[in-house]
């Protein structure tokens, strides 16, 4: 007789952020998010992160939702909003890096953003922004007015 055992592992990594208490601070704008998560711009593979906020835009927690390849990562609303629901989040800020250094959003980035905004609307959890970190700098889809597709405001 053979017995199969499914094993689940969890890996933790210490990450240095801008200053002590940065993860529990209130987010006022996209620059605050970019500074707090600047470490992602140095990662060699694309990583997609969801930052969960309370009603006053204070960071409750964040989750690395997906680790991809040099040119992309797979993101599904289920993984993004599971963490939001567990954290009792009122809003989410999405972040991912482009290892190429070019922070401009691709067509796929815009499509994923729309899909996540639609899912958040259904759940009552607002997607406030989607930041793409490059080297140097970042692009905030909200700041650039890219949170609108086909005439429909995404947020």
Q: What is the pLDDT of residue 155?
A: 42
Quickly list DSSP for 4-71: --------------SSTTGGGSBP-SHHHHHHHTGGGGG-SS-EEEEEEE-TT-BEEEEEEEEE--SS
Q: What is the pLDDT of residue 14?
A: 57
| Cα–Cα nearest to 133, from 67, 48, 64 | 48
Question: Topology of 25-153 in CATH?
Answer: Cytidine Deaminase; domain 2 (3.40.140)
Reading the block at residue 138, the tokens are 């970042």
Give residues with Cβ within 8 angstroms of 39, minimum separation 6: 15, 16, 17
pLDDT string in tens for the chain (155-residue length): 677 666 655 555 555 554 445 555 788 999 999 999 998 888 888 999 999 999 999 999 999 999 886 666 789 999 999 999 999 999 999 999 998 889 999 999 999 999 999 999 999 999 999 999 998 899 999 998 877 544 444 44
Domain ranges of the chain: 25-153
């Amino acid at each position: 007789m053979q017995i199969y055992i499914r094993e689940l592992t969890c890996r933790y990594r210490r990450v240095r952020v801008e200053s002590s208490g940065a993860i529990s601070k209130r987010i006022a704008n996209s620059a605050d998010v970019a500074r707090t998560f600047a470490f992602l711009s140095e990662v060699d593979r694309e990583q997609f992160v969801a930052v969960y906020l309370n009603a006053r835009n204070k960071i409750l927690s964040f989750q690395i939702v997906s680790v991809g390849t040099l040119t992309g990562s797979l993101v599904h609303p289920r993984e993004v909003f599971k963490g939001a629901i567990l954290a009792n989040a009122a809003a989410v800020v999405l972040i991912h890096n482009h290892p190429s250094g070019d922070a401009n959003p691709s067509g796929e980035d815009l499509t994923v953003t729309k899909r996540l905004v639609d899912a958040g609307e259904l759940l009552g959890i607002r997607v406030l922004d989607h930041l793409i970190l490059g080297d140097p700098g970042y692009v905030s889809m909200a700041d650039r007015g890219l949170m609108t597709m086909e005439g429909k405001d995404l947020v």
